[in-house]
Structure 1
Amino acid sequence: MKPVFHKGKLTRWKDDKGFGFIRSSGSSQDIFIHITALKKNNHRPQVGDVICYQLKVDKDGKTCACNAFIEGVVSKSIPKTSSSRIEKETFKPKAKSSLIFEVLLLCLLPGLGALHFALTTFNAIPLILYPLMSFLTFVLYANDKSRAKQGRWRVPENTLHLCEFMGGWLGAFIAQKTLRHKSSKASYQAVFWVIVVIHIIFWSDWLFFGKRLVGLLLSSVFRG
């Protein structure tokens, strides 16, 4: 017997948790779909995508989608030769030098500010916190991307943003560029760059305007 496929539009999608709901035309019932039900493709599900799927009953007796694919998206694995070519293009010398320049440019004022703060207040915690939190944030990005590929529970975006705010934004920037993760989601990028600007303004104020209130605030925070 030929398998029956249904078609519907993705009306809700929780990317951090890897599941959503499909509504087919002429039906008011929403069908649950998990990321593992989708065949391999080069497109992350988004609200509005048209999904072709089969139905099955899970262990709890609920109807859900299986053997699904996104209409209009080629469902195939990338050949090993292509992957090798992409990897070489991604990490070519020009891309590396461009990333190094961007990193140096971004961390210039915060780095100088943290160094100046350490020399004038004899408190090196900000200078230590930046590389430490950047490393932790990079690891969280890598873990989140791995979870996304495996269809597992994701690292909450609020957790990533908190680590960025606590000094890990530079590690997040490097992860976005090298891992190609969280770099195309507009809402996420908006919050990320607000955090970066806050850090740059903060240290610019310390370096060029001599706001000792900033020093008192940092001292009270780190001593407390």
Structure 2
Amino acid sequence: MKPSLRSGKLTQWKDDRGFGFIQPADGSKDVFLHMSELQDATRRPQENDTIYYYPIVDSDGKIRACNAFILGARNKSTSPWGFLIGNAKLSAVPRSNFPIYEVLLLSILPLSGATHFTLTTRNPLPLILYSVMSLVTYALYAKDKSRAQRRQWRTPEQTLHLCELAGGWLGGFIAQRMLRHKSQKASYQTKFWTIVAVHHIAWLVWLVWGKTRWV
């Protein structure tokens, strides 16, 4: 049986850790809310916000909020497909479609540079790192979200960023879009996109100047 939409007041919010607790309008037990469960929020949550959500009971019997949104702070057109998402039925398990066009656009320059590097130097390490580290990073994102939902010990953000820097940034991007994890925290996104920019600039430099040394 699908849970019904409920509402409550956000009585606690730990912005640095990305989670808080909702006091349901019916006076029942507090409900855990993680930032990744907020739908198209136009701002960070604040205490006393009214939150609409679907209650989900975890295997340990604890209740958490799923597919939540902040009353008065929901943007249904944050992506080209926002009008479809806004009218779609919410799933009990939040997961987006694979962001194929965004992935293609982001990966053209790095993969072109890595492929050219491999053909020029006969060293496939960059391509191997991108493939392996993207899988590793995606898995770490998924594990971290699962732990957050169960209020368990989290994967340090520094570990995620190191994996992204080592070539897993594409896997991290896919995880952010598909799992809706780490995609709303501004400080995290700043570091993430800095890493992406470093990779793009490095391959641009290689394609423009570095390759001439091997001719």
Fold-level similarity (TM above 0.5)? yes
The question of 1:194 aligning with 2:172 is answered: no
Distance apart, 1:77 and its partner CA:
1.4
Q: How far apart are 1:48 and its partner, in Å?
A: 5.0
Q: How does 1:203-222 map to 2 (within 5 A)?
A: 203-210=203-210
2:90 aligned with 1:86: yes
TM-score, length of structure 2 as denominator length: 0.63
Would you tell me which structure has more helix in proportion to its own residues? 1
Gaps of 5+ in 1: 1-7, 21-36, 51-70, 216-224
1:15 to 14, 17, 24: 17
Q: Spell out the pairing of 1:2-151 with structure 2 (5 A cutoff).
A: 14-15=16-17, 38-41=30-33, 49-50=47-48, 72-74=50-52, 76-77=54-55, 85-87=89-91, 91=96, 96=98, 99-151=99-151
**Which letter maps to 1:85?**
K
Greater Rg, structure 1 or structure 2? 1
CA contact (8 A) 2:34 2:149 kept: no
In structure 2, stretches of 5+ residues that fail to align are: 1-9, 22-28, 39-43, 57-65, 68-87
Q: Is the 8 A contact 1:134 1:168 kept in 2?
A: yes
Q: Which moved more, 1:37-46 or 1:118-127?
A: 37-46
Deviation at 1:47, TM superposition (A): 8.2
Q: CA deviation at 1:41?
A: 4.9
CA RMSD of aligned residues (A): 3.8
